[in-house]
Structure 1
């Protein structure tokens, strides 16, 4: 078994709450788990995998695959009743791959026993293994929608019910859901986002001393993993004891009416939807008080809980960046400490409030300890190491400037840039699809064959077992095999296996190639184009699509928006797009062609739609018109469905965009439809 990097050795930047959020979820799983957002190489996965090593062990029945709690008389296991006694084992951290199938998540028939012995036995899935443990989803924002639906149902009910393939079974599935994601790769579905109790934004430390410490520890671990783990054994055991103590204390932590009213005021002030935010914030405040060793919730507990539970719940649309105004939070909380809740009826004598050692003293506010017992984790000036961020062996890959940072405006002959045009108000576009049936990444737009959707047939390929078609294939061959029935059962052969062919929906790539030259600055054309792209991107966020944009002006073309599903990145890139200069049409088409080439190499199944917004003029460089037509012919040979939106206006028209459309073998759309609504209608009505 590989050695796990110790949780206590993860170096903190002093600004994030990663370690604290994971510990609070471990203390009180009813909080609902943690979503960790951050760039590559910020120790998201390292910290999560290290968490399981410090969790107290649990008691289970020996041989129980569903890990029910022997002390919970209200829960039963499909493997029961048990006569072999009880055992203690470590908590499981179960990883759910983004490409997992529904059968792997829920469970399925035991194929070997079904085919060899004719027995119907259920093989539990990942949700059963995660019961009373941690379910970890790396790149959770890329998880297929049908798996998201199953997770939502399990998280809401704490139970998994299977009714399929002749199996009727139900089992408990209560787990801490922890997900990690890079926001640049797309946003998370809103329903799943709300199911995460806490959220944390992590980044690499900027302090050179902390960065050096990260590298030093990582090198030491890679050189001698066993020795490195032994050096942190005492700290690991101390964290385990503190978690166990806090779990025992959670049930006795009191929440005064004043504290609950203050939590409600905070949630109302930040205009969060629903009441789940109030519940989660209260639970997180209780867990934080237990972690700090207090028997009542204080102002400090509410502050920490709000910073972790509210940022992802105050978003109104995908363009809103997650976060919380800490100054506003402090104004709402005020400076006065919360009054003590009334004593319980069976409580002992009141504690002397003058005792400075009393953790419940209302005049003494204990600092919120960091996960390693150091100073308050929100003290940005603290340089004490503790859980937070750490360099992993998955170092950030080098990316081209066009894929990581907005391009600076080019300068040169014929380039006179104007200020970036603002985007119009985004709106909800109509649904559009690419004709035909693809095999692209699962999404919610065009028809496609994949692992999810309605069953339309069977084949011998990979996929979930189609039991009826498998039995039918075996029955048709019994006479040929000459054996008939064997012991009263149908004889099966591996060649009889059939898998289901399903038709669902796929995601598409919308590739915009936009003329940003000086002529496009007139009549607010760029504002209309930006509004359309942002509108389509918002729709892509809901339908799991990807959108890209190339802008050409002056003497060159820039990939201002690489293929992405992140509306935050898209809004920032588009806001900086300026207009001015000549029209390098050939360079724009070449840049679009290169983006599509890379995407096809990355995923040959991707089905793009190229939308070229231009008046057809080519004025940059010698033989500009001939070069642009040659590039258009090259794009036509790639068989990319295309649309040319003709921006030419005025009584005298040269028809250059019409000629460009002919070379691209694309549909030509006149300027009359180039408004925000018109551009979306063009894409909506496009027949690939």
Structure 2
């Protein structure tokens, strides 16, 4: 059986055994392997355990409960209905497309889990690697984060685990095992306490499922591999490969060899070594790229920032307010707000023309929506010097790759080039691949390096893009050196000072940005430039179009 499906089925057994302490599981991928794990979890749970699915378009009343409008109007009295979170109490709540779950809904689910609703959470993340992940507030509360992206078809025919008829008591962890898990958590750079507690619970559940009277070292290692390894934010340091050289005379001090051997076999050291080997490849890639913990905002690949809208987009929960000016009345939500007050209001004399439902100003609710802005990736290219041809080739290839995605995602590309005495908008925001190729091919190279002019023009273009309701992402291809000041005078000291001021202006504007150092060797000037504009610094002296596109996608 493949590691991904095997680990997912083990996690399902553990979750069915200890749903409260373990919280839940996140399954990345799509297809029959995910259905296989869900079927296994349903079989392992006790009969009659509720299993509910959370629709992405759910509203506040259906999620948390509230007034049943139809029953209240028919019966003339307040009738309340249970919410989905209440229905899932003691069972499992499955969240399809969890990476697109609204933050307000995620907050309500997390609040219910902490407030005693006691349900296990299954997050289904069918996004591609590098895309958005489920909300951190929910990922923090599930013990397992497993990938089912590459599962062999032969593994799907294997039998599912059977539900245990008797539940053995949970054995306790001794002090050495707890210290080993705590040391591994610290070595992996995991700051939260929840994964440590979840790993301890997983080790206890593993021992209990095998009928063991005590938690074994293998249980601790497997729990750390399942719970801690996918949450690593750093790769643990390699342990010393050899003991220090013996003192002069060739003999070790009494007991020194025994101490070294005991230290190398310490539970914490062995556990860290085992977990280091179990860190998933995608986590290692994100650690190396420095993208762990970074929130994804406007994208070079298409998705821009989320903004509130009064007329279109994904529906959000209604809020108190007055309709008008493009804001529409939420009639059903207004009814829900007014019905509980009807017994009190019916005692007062009815005003002339009053209907069966008496509304007040505070009862009115208005509709809200959320939509994603389109994004514009602005490439700012250094076209000066003898390497201008290769730099333009990189920008052209990356622009072509991003433009190819605009058929399915809303994304535009613009190109700013600086050389000689100033900077020019080589290509205004467009989705036309033909225009991009034509404009990039027609740009000559050479001359001075007016870096400050290029940064200033890129910022102005970004502000224009933001003013039109789109999300700008600024990508600078430069080695960070400059010899032309903002006013056109020559001199490296003044030019570098103007460039840093222009970079700080970009930081003040709040635009997402990345500085790609394409010099033969990484230069401190480019790193200082990125620090000044609060952008990510990528030393890519040998970047090709695919590497550049991947770097931009990670930042955006």
Shorter-chain TM range is: 0.5 to 0.7
The offset of 1:26, in angstroms, is 0.6
**Of residues 134, 137, 150 in structure 2, which corresponds to 1:204?**
150
1:38 to 13, 23, 28: 28
Q: Distance in 2 between matches of 1:645 and 1:148?
A: 31
Q: 1:466 and 1:146 mapped to 2: Cα distance?
A: 22
**Which residue of the partner structure matches residue 54 of structure 1?**
43
Aligned to 1:194: 140
Tell whether the 8 Å contact from 2:178 to 2:200 is kept in structure 1 after alignment: yes
Partner of 1:74: none
Contact 2:30 2:148 in 1 (8 A): no
Cα distance in 1 for partners of 2:124, 2:264 equals 33
Deviation at 1:197, TM superposition (A): 1.9
Match for residue 177 of structure 2? 259
Taking the aligned partners of 1:240 and 1:333, their CA distance within structure 2 comes to 41
Report the CA distance shift for 1:95/1:678 in structure 2 as closer, same or farther (over 3 A).
Answer: same
* Length-normalised TM-score, structure 2: 0.57
Q: Give the direction of change, closer, same or farther, for the CA distance of 1:179–1:651 in structure 2 (3 Å limit).
A: closer
Matching residue within 225, 242, 245 for 1:307 = 225
Instruction: Please give the per-residue CA displacement for 1:220-273, whole angstroms capped at 9, x wherever unaligned.
Output: xxxxxxxxxxxx8xx55xx3433x43xx21x34232233223222322333322
**SS of structure 2 residue aligned to 1:464:** helix
State the distance in 1 between where 2:8 and 2:262 align. Answer: 24
Do the aligned partners of 2:92 and 2:122 also contact (CA within 8 Å) in 1? yes
- CA offset digits 1:660-688 (Å, max 9, x no partner): xxxxxxxxxxx868854332334569xxx
Question: What is the aligned partner in structure 1 of residue 91 from structure 2?
Answer: 133
Does the CA contact (< 8 Å) of 2:22 and 2:202 recur in 1? no
Contact in 1 for aligned 2:59/2:316 (Cα 8 Å): yes
In the TM superposition, residue 622 of structure 1 has moved relative to its aligned partner by: 10
- The residue that corresponds to 2:519 in the other structure is none
Equivalent in the alignment of 2:271:
none
Partner of 1:557: 400
Q: CA deviation at 1:92?
A: 2.1
Deviation, structure 1 residue 96: 0.8
Match of 1:67 in 2: none
Alignment of 1:313-352 (within 5 A): 313-315=231-233
- Larger mean CA deviation between 465-474 and 177-186 belongs to 465-474
Partner of 1:164: none
For residues 327-476 of structure 1, the aligned pairs below 5 Å read 443=306, 451-452=316-317, 454-457=319-322, 459-461=328-330, 464-468=333-337
Report what 2:110 is aligned to.
152
2:247 corresponding residue in structure 1: none
Q: Offset of 1:298 from its aligned partner?
A: 0.5
5+ residue gaps, structure 1: 1-10, 59-89, 159-172, 218-231, 339-377, 381-421, 433-439, 527-549, 564-578, 595-611, 624-631, 655-670
Q: Superposition pairs for residues 270-669 of structure 1, below 5 Å? A: 270-315=188-233, 443=306, 451-452=316-317, 454-457=319-322, 459-461=328-330, 464-468=333-337, 490=356, 500-501=365-366, 508-516=373-381, 518-519=383-384, 552-553=395-396, 557-559=400-402, 589-591=429-431, 618=439, 620-621=441-442, 650=484
Q: Is the 8 A contact 2:305 2:471 kept in 1?
A: no
CA distance in 1, matches of 2:185, 2:6: 21
Distance 1:31 1:521 in 2: 62
* Structure 1 match to 2:121: 177
Deviations 1:426-485 (A, max 9, x none): 9999x99xxxxxxx9994x6676752475223544476345456799999xx8787xx78
Residue 7 of structure 2: aligned partner: 17
Q: Distance in 2 between matches of 1:305 and 1:644?
A: 41
Cα drift, residue 174 of structure 1:
0.8
- What TM-score comes out, normalization by structure 1 length? 0.47
- Distance verdict in 2 for CA 1:108–1:332, change over 3 Å: farther
Call closer, same or farther: CA 1:621–1:502 in 2, change over 3 Å.
same
Greater share of residues in helix = 2
Change (3 A) 1:326 1:180: farther
Q: Bigger relative contact order, structure 1 or 2, given CA contacts below 8 A and separation 6+? A: 1
SS in 2 for 1:254: coil
